[in-house]
Structure 1
């Protein structure tokens, strides 16, 4: 009896580790389709914005990216947490609307999009129009499949208002205040016409 006890204990230990590993894999699978980044913004619904992705070293960080805009109560971490359950249900259940730079589709709230970046251009730009948002809120959470900073190049910014000013989040998850104090402007009017040879990050 005593001779086999250590082997039995070892077998039980292996089983326990297998059980823990299965739980970790299940948790990872459950989160596989969720966003990587969330930012809470105060936005003027009377004006439009531009969501932008730029090439770095001659290519985009990825060829496409899911994006969801969701109204919230305020542009804080609490505002992000307040909409997570609803946004998660939308993110995991809805079929995303594919949008290319030539689609002529404006991004609005409560719709899951799959942005397709134009490989022939240095920048892929998407218009954001929140004028039809109900409830009169000016706070929105933007959730993205990838961190938008991965798609910035040189001194560009991923979100710009009608005046060329950077639109910065009041809070992000994961926390990152890299852009929160950057109030610079950028001229993006000609960016869509730039070809690969104009990408100075090469």
Structure 2
């Protein structure tokens, strides 16, 4: 199934949204989150504060501009997986395809520091994580015809969403993602002792 072509109006809205998000991130990284107002962001993006709020629900949302579509992408990873592909493999592919490029972005460390050093952003990120976990858990439950809140489905959703956090500090992020998903798929085993 092909996606319908995006019209000029939608492209223009998307470009404005991206310009606002880019201006916000640049200012937040330069000055610190607490020292930048929505008005500052609007001026830097050459739009009105009203336009900023047409595109973003609040100041925190400016930092996490890609999160709006995350729930839809997570659900699609489960529901639109290839024929014969199990849910864990679909989630593995999703993390590899979406998170690895983000993790390799040159501003990733600055972005992580911004979030970790700003209590409002840390709290917002935690709320997003819970929402994404609930959404993914519900999508997995639907695939197996069980009630939302099923513990096995909720656990898989939670662990799958934690994979990037576990892989973040590893030298080979791809190998780390693969290893954690292998554990999810095959069960945990004690690590082998190093050979002499």
More strand by percentage: 1
- Higher normalized helix content (fraction of residues): 2
Report the TM-score when normalising by structure 1. Answer: 0.25
Question: Relative contact order (C-alpha < 8 Å, sep 6+): which is higher?
Answer: 1
